[in-house]
Structure 1
Amino acid sequence: MLLREAATSSVIGLINGVVMLVGTLVLMSVLDLVLTGVTVAAVLVVIALFGWLMPGIATAQARAQEQVGRLGGVLEGALRAIRTVKVSRAEDRQAERVLVHARSSAEHGISAVRAEATAWTIAWSGIQLAIILILGIGAWRVSLQQLEVSSLIAFLLYAFGLMDPITELSQNLTALQSGVAAAERIREVDAMEAEPAGSRTSAASGPGGGRSSGPVIELRGVTASYRPSAAPAVRGIDLAIPRRGHLAIVGPSGAGKTTLYSLILGFLEPQHGTLFLDGRPYRQHTRDEIRARLAYVEQDTPIVPGTIRDNLLFSHPDASEEELARVLDEVQLAEKVAMLEEGLDTSLSSSQISGGERQRIALGRALLGTPDVLLLDEATAQLDALTEAAVHNCLRDRAAAGAVVTIAHRLSTVIDADDIVVMENGLIRARGDHESLLETDRLYRELVAALRIAHDTAPAGR
């Protein structure tokens, strides 16, 4: 809204005001050059004062808009977590927090309006001062018979006519400052660093060009952190993901599991080391080429606005009805969808979808394509035992045709894996299958014990 006003009505108003101001001054100069000089001097004083006030108005507008943005963020966060707020009996605390930001927003808004009002007052005062000077000097010149009374009256009428263009200019200049402040916040977003696109090269331009028989993805000596000054989240990672099979990644919180996914998905750049896709470094692929080979299911399982069909087709909009029916069967949603009056075209905002069903929709979205690597961040955490068993069978079938990588917090997922990687403090601590790790790795045994998975007592390892 502010940008639209600044780009349309404010700009047009400024042009109109300038034309009217210049035209009026030209007509004044025809009547009397001395009084015109007095008027021009008054206008120049007003312009100088405006120039002095404009930076302050812009700063006040920017602060006011920033506070409004913070208020909106706090209010949105409280409404998004309204159930947690109510269960925690935190309504009063959240209301006070919203009120604090509302008061701050109001204070900055009032400060901005005061600055604008000061500018308008100066504009009006400048014109009133010019009229007083015109009356005084004009009367003196009439007494000296250097100016006709009729000319003085006409000049005064023109002086009164200056009020409209000066008022229009002052109002549109202050409105323009609001638009400039809004544009500055947009420029801040535009100035954010974009992810590198990568450089596409010929598949035959290096070793491993094309799809080889080696690992589909490989990390060699990879070290990465989220900020240049921060400690590395992962260090010296050497990991090969085979083209087929189920690889599980386990470890305590903060071990670096999610960071591995961020690296594989191209959301994080390594500080040292290299990632390879089909034997070629990531930098030789575009981000689209890399992500077209991957499918990712988050633990939070976000649902995009729209229908069930929209969500399933989000990554693969050209999928057929037969493919949709297949994935619905695989994730045990076919019966649920058949019971809905509008079926796949049921709006998710108007239907009762449980957390487990949301998770299955997200999983179905990933399974709809044929990704080379399926990345799962505990994608079965909210499923009941029967549905989880069916989904595990589906993942087992998928692992026979491609790579499935799971960040696992439930050992029921890990036991089914062909290979298990144990991480701790950003390092790969151990790798093997379930039985071998029980025998050789203390941390893995602790993780298994913490998750209450029955197993034979293993001999003391390292």
Structure 2
Amino acid sequence: MNRNKSKRQESKASKPFLTLLKETKPSYGLLAIAIALSIISTLVGLVIPLFTKTLVDGFSLASVSKMQVAAIAGAFIAQTIAGGVSIYILNYVGQKMVASLRERLWRKFLVLPVSYYNEARTGESVSRMTNDTGVIKTLVSENIASLFTGVISIVGSISVLLYLNWKMTLVLFTVLPLSALILVPLGRQMYKISKGMQDETASFTATLSGVLSEIRLVKSSGAEQKEFKAGKAGIMNLLSFGIREGKINAMINPLVSFVLMMLLVVIIGYGGMQVSSGALSAGELVAFILYLINIVMPLTQLTTFFTQIQKAKGASERMIETLGAEEEMYEGKEIINGSETAIRIEGVSFGYKTGENVLNNVSFQMLPGEVTAIVGPSGGGKTTLFSLLERFYMPLSGVIKFGDNPVSEFSLTSWRRQIGYVSQESPLLAGTIAENLGYGLDREVSKDEMINAARMAYADGFIEELPDGYNTDVGERGVKLSGGQRQRIAIARALLRNPSILMLDEATSSLDSQSEAVVQRALSNLMKGRTTVVIAHRLSTVVNADQIIFMEKGRITGTGRHEELLQNHELYRQFATQQLQMLAPEGDTSVDEEDR
């Protein structure tokens, strides 16, 4: 019963693996040609022992005609060429299949929702793209032909041996099944080890990516030893799997050699007696030995193939999971003109984990052309609300509407095209300033547009002072620029998008007071005619807002203008008082009665 269950599990594992290969749409024509050439090469190899038999049994070189020599030489040359071309075609097909698979994975990674990346580590995704697909490529380009040629070589050799001497051939079958009984369980063990190896490789790659991408944090925190220990643990785990894999190989390879030697001893011993008695010619004995090699060598290749296919099964399972993950829904209506449309949040609740809501029954509206400031203590749900507006997540209940339609009815591309987003982190990609300014735009940006946007964001000054100007490389994640410089480039990037909705997560927080004043004026000009929502921590940002939303623990506890909330909301009054005290000259903590 357990054996049947094991077979069902193996079959279940094979089906998605074969489906994965099929979905890469390989060139079946080229595969057929490559396999046909390999088969031709194998068939030529089956003729050689017969020629050797005739030669040993008294066939002299003197009786060989030039045509026969040319035919034999031509067969060898054809075998060599066919083998070489077959290897190239299989490698070509394998590379194309892996490229197709990587293309599918890359597309998938880009359309997966943000929630997927909250759970999956970046390094694991990188491992899917590199290590796992490499295993598939090795199987297709190096091992798949051995399945066909190995079977043909074994079947063909056994057929000829049965024709030459069926009694001696039956002796072979007393040994070959014994090796199969050992090799099959070892193959299953290899599958388990390979699957564990793939998972551990992905985890180790994730650790490396995480540490190296935040190497400045590691060094500034003095965490080198801690991370070394974590990395060493991953290395030791990989070592453990590698040693276990080595043990399996250490059993498989000597076993095949043992089978070969045992068969040679049996054939030579038994065949020698047959030759002595006259029942077998010396040429037939030599042919038997050569055909034995034609059986055992392909058997070794088949063992390698089945070992590799076990590895490929383990590698493909995670890729299949990734390719089957739920994608963001990009389909929907196009937004023609969003600048005159209100945004309504109606009874929205959301939580990252079941039963732990971050937002609870949030409702308010943002009128076109007006500024909405969202304030409140940390952890109140302000950033989560921004994520919902960007449609990184969908509300658990309630709805966000754009005009009279839920935002989910609009195409994701069209909706996000309406939004200009500037966060506190100001993320930049490796590349030039110009590339970062035009990033994500579906049109070419002229140099004049860039300069104008940079000027409005107060970034033109420092850009022009750089040696390469707008062609200056910013480094990975923009590390070659200061925080304030990155912030201003992010603002200029938002300006170039010309959005109808602005989302500002304290966009001027990294700037000095002089730069902030200029950028604030630029943002004020940009806000005209646009719906703006801003997460604010400074009183100067919210005083002139058309409405202020005060959030605490995922709920709205106050809505109104600055003056209204000063009178009616105790926590907002405390917030405003603290801000005014921070702005007051040293030694003067008084607050004007009017501001109270």
TM norm. shorter chain > 0.5: yes
How many residues in Structure 1 have an aligned counterpart in Structure 2?
452
Gap regions ≥5 residues in structure 1: 204-208
User: Once structures 1 and 2 are overlaid, which stretch shifts more, 184-193 or 378-387?
Assistant: 184-193
Match of 2:218 in 1: 85
Equivalent residue letter for 1:284: E
1:432 aligns to 2:565 (yes or no)? no
Match of 1:371 among 477, 499, 505: 499
Q: Is the 8 A contact 1:331 1:391 kept in 2?
A: yes
Equivalent residue letter for 2:220: V
Q: Where does 1:121-132 land on structure 2 (aligned, <5 Å)?
A: 121-132=254-265
Match of 1:313 in 2: 438
- Return the TM-score normalized by structure 2: 0.70
Match of 2:371 among 246, 251, 254: 246
Q: Is the 8 A contact 1:61 1:181 kept in 2?
A: yes
SS at match of 1:374: strand
1:190 aligns to 2:315 (yes or no)? no
Q: CA–CA distance in 1 between the matches of 2:253 and 2:405?
A: 65
1:380 aligns to 2:471 (yes or no)? no
Q: CA–CA distance in 2 between the matches of 1:189 and 1:450?
A: 49
- Return the TM-score normalized by structure 1: 0.89
Equivalent residue letter for 2:510: Q
Equivalent residue letter for 1:196: M
Residues 31 and 427 of structure 1: is their aligned pair in 2 closer, same or farther, counting only changes over 3 Å? same
Q: CA–CA distance in 2 between the matches of 1:55 and 1:154?
A: 35
Q: Where does 1:217-296 land on structure 2 (aligned, <5 Å)?
A: 217-227=343-353, 229-296=354-421
Cα distance, 1:354 vs. partner?
Answer: 0.8
Q: CA–CA distance in 1 between the matches of 2:364 and 2:178?
A: 72
Match of 2:156 in 1: 23
Cα distance, 1:142 vs. partner?
Answer: 6.5
Cα distance, 1:458 vs. partner?
Answer: 8.5
Cα distance, 1:78 vs. partner?
Answer: 2.4
Cα distance, 1:122 vs. partner?
Answer: 3.4
- Give the superposed CA RMSD: 2.8
Map Cα deviations across residues 234-287 of structure 1 (whole Å, 9 max, x no partner): 111112121112211112222111111111111111121111123211232111
Residues 282 and 157 of structure 1: is their aligned pair in 2 closer, same or farther, counting only changes over 3 Å? same
Gap regions ≥5 residues in structure 2: 1-133, 585-590
Equivalent residue letter for 2:520: H
Map Cα deviations across residues 123-174 of structure 1 (whole Å, 9 max, x no partner): 3333344444445655676788765565344323322343321222222332
User: Once structures 1 and 2 are overlaid, which stretch shifts more, 106-115 or 260-269?
Assistant: 106-115
SS at match of 1:158: helix
Q: Is the 8 A contact 1:315 1:365 kept in 2?
A: no
SS at match of 1:105: helix
1:334 aligns to 2:460 (yes or no)? yes
User: Once structures 1 and 2 are overlaid, which stretch shifts more, 436-445 or 330-339?
Assistant: 436-445
Q: CA–CA distance in 1 between the matches of 2:378 and 2:265?
A: 77
Cα distance, 1:393 vs. partner?
Answer: 0.8
User: Once structures 1 and 2 are overlaid, which stretch shifts more, 340-349 or 134-143?
Assistant: 134-143
Q: Is the 8 A contact 1:419 1:431 kept in 2?
A: yes
Q: CA–CA distance in 2 between the matches of 1:419 and 1:453?
A: 23
Match of 2:300 in 1: 167
Match of 1:39 in 2: 172
Q: Is the 8 A contact 1:223 1:236 kept in 2?
A: yes
Q: Is the 8 A contact 2:204 2:235 kept in 1?
A: yes
SS at match of 2:428: coil
Q: Is the 8 A contact 1:247 1:421 kept in 2?
A: yes
Equivalent residue letter for 1:413: T
Residues 282 and 49 of structure 1: is their aligned pair in 2 closer, same or farther, counting only changes over 3 Å? farther
Map Cα deviations across residues 324-380 of structure 1 (whole Å, 9 max, x no partner): 111110111111121223221111129841111011111111111221111112222
The structure where helix makes up a greater share of residues is 2
Match of 1:177 among 290, 303, 310: 310
Equivalent residue letter for 1:419: Q
Q: CA–CA distance in 2 between the matches of 1:109 and 1:239?
A: 58
Q: CA–CA distance in 2 between the matches of 1:212 and 1:304?
A: 29
Match of 2:470 in 1: 344
Equivalent residue letter for 2:148: I
Residues 98 and 171 of structure 1: is their aligned pair in 2 closer, same or farther, counting only changes over 3 Å? same
User: Once structures 1 and 2 are overlaid, which stretch shifts more, 341-350 or 302-311?
Assistant: 341-350
Equivalent residue letter for 1:60: I
SS at match of 1:401: coil
Match of 1:10 in 2: 143
Q: CA–CA distance in 1 between the matches of 2:316 and 2:551?
A: 46
Q: Is the 8 A contact 1:222 1:272 kept in 2?
A: yes
Q: Is the 8 A contact 1:212 1:279 kept in 2?
A: no
Match of 1:70 in 2: 203
Q: CA–CA distance in 2 between the matches of 1:2 and 1:143?
A: 51
Q: Is the 8 A contact 1:275 1:281 kept in 2?
A: yes
Residues 133 and 231 of structure 1: is their aligned pair in 2 closer, same or farther, counting only changes over 3 Å? same
SS at match of 2:400: strand
Q: CA–CA distance in 2 between the matches of 1:128 and 1:99?
A: 42
Match of 1:97 in 2: 230
Residues 48 and 164 of structure 1: is their aligned pair in 2 closer, same or farther, counting only changes over 3 Å? same
Residues 52 and 275 of structure 1: is their aligned pair in 2 closer, same or farther, counting only changes over 3 Å? same
Q: CA–CA distance in 2 between the matches of 1:55 and 1:424?
A: 56
